[in-house]
A and B are shown apart, each in its own frame.
Chain A
Amino acid sequence: MRILTPVVLGLLAFCVIAETIQQISFKLGSTRPTPEGGGFYAGILAQPLIWLGVALWVIESIAWIQVLQRAPLSLAYPIMTLTYVGVPLAGLLLLRETMTPRQMLGGGLIAVGVACVALSGA
């Protein structure tokens, strides 16, 4: 049973990276100071980073459909949890945020779990 072909793995990697950038865009876009006047949501919608996030969401959804046409949902979906590792890791490297030992253990367990799931489809 070989489900996770290089094409599927590439698509999944793209989805994880797109999701990570999307999360960071949404985070930075929603915390940036908004222009004077207008409500909270109007201010957020004026942020280009929010629209980058929305565009990434659309492209990622198209890629996700391609994944689901080639691999079972129960195999592909757990691999998307790598985003949980990617976002704090990006925060650690780019935004100089910190991770507690408990969070590092959690991230490590997710990585091990994803490896197990991926191996079962390799």
Chain B
Amino acid sequence: MAAARRDLSRLIRPLVLVAMPVLGVVNQYCAERTAQAMLGQALGLGWLGHALAVPWVWAWIGFEILTLAAWTVVLSELSLSAAFPMTALGYAFVIALGWTAFHEPITALQVVGAAAILVGVWLLGDEAKPKQDPPPIPF
């Protein structure tokens, strides 16, 4: 039983690793579409009611829960140092999403900053301490 479970987790591992950055992009795509759908709405109870009628909100909530579940699997299967580069990749994907899907402007300073952040996130996954506190749930 335990062996079967190990085999299954070995199969799931690469899938979940790829899923993390992809889910990050999907979450932020839903968030951006939600923000666009809610433009012009004044904050308040009416705002909340309107938000719950936006399909992107429900997609966003669903994918966030899926992300949390996937992240739990990642952390139970992998050391942080192995999981962290993947979260850095997620940030790169989301920045690229803004530039491509939403046609946002790019500056050189922004590219330099994004690169420094990616290296920083990767460095935070310390190889010397493989099992420690869970990092922030990305995305």
Quick check: B113 and A97 within 8 Å, CB to CB? no
Query: How far is it, in angstroms, between the C-alpha of A119 and the C-alpha of B34 when the chains are bound?
Result: 26
Residues on the A chain within 8 Å of B128, using CB: 100, 102
Contact of B116 among A68, A72, A110 (CB under 8 A): A110
Q: Is the CB of A84 within 8 A of B136?
A: yes
Contacts A109-B117, A116-B112, A120-B109; A73 near B32 (Cβ below 8 A): yes
For chain A, give the interface size range. Answer: 35 or more
The 8 Å CB contact of B32, one of A68, A97, A120, is A68
Q: How far is the CA of A111 from the CA of B117 in the complex (A)?
A: 8
Instruction: Pick the residue among B39, B104, B107, B115 that contacts A113 (CB under 8 A).
Output: B115
Chain B CB within 8 A of A27 CB = yes
From known contacts A27-B133, A73-B97, A74-B98, infer whether A119 and B109 are also in contact, taking CB-CB under 8 Å: yes
Which B residue's beta carbon lies closest to that of A118? B113
A62–B61 Cα distance when bound, in Å, is 12
Shortest Cβ distance from residue B114 to the other chain A in the assembled complex, whole angstroms: 6
Q: Which residues of B contact A105 (CB under 8 A)?
A: 120, 123
Question: Contacting A83 at CB < 8 Å: which of B105, B116, B133, B136?
Answer: B136
- A122 CB to closest chain B CB (Å) equals 10
The B interface is mostly helix, strand or loop, or mixed, namely helix
Chain B residue numbers with a CB within 8 Å of A10 are none
Residues of B with C-beta under 8 A to A57? 64
| Option from B28, B110, B134 in Cβ contact (under 8 Å) with A120 | B110
Q: How far is the CA of A64 from the CA of B97 in the complex (A)?
A: 17
CA separation between A65 and B28, bound complex, in Å? 10
Q: Determine if A68 and B31 form an interchain contact, defined as CB atoms under 8 angstroms apart.
A: yes
Q: How far is the CB of A28 from chain B (nearest CB, A)?
A: 10
Cβ distance B82 to chain A, nearest Cβ, rounded Å: 15
Rounded to whole angstroms, the CA-CA distance of A14 and B133 in the bound complex is 23
- Taking a contact as CB atoms closer than 8 A, the residue among B31, B95, B126 that contacts A74 in the complex is B95
Interface on A for B, CB 8 Å cutoff?
Answer: 1, 19-20, 23, 26-27, 57, 61-62, 64-66, 68-69, 72-75, 77-78, 81, 83-84, 87-88, 91, 97, 100, 102-103, 105-121
21 contacts between A and B (CB under 8 A): A23-B134, A23-B136, A23-B137, A27-B134, A73-B28, A74-B95, A75-B110, A81-B91, A81-B117, A84-B124, A84-B136, A102-B123, A106-B121, A106-B123, A107-B120, A111-B120, A112-B120, A113-B120, A114-B113, A116-B116, A119-B109
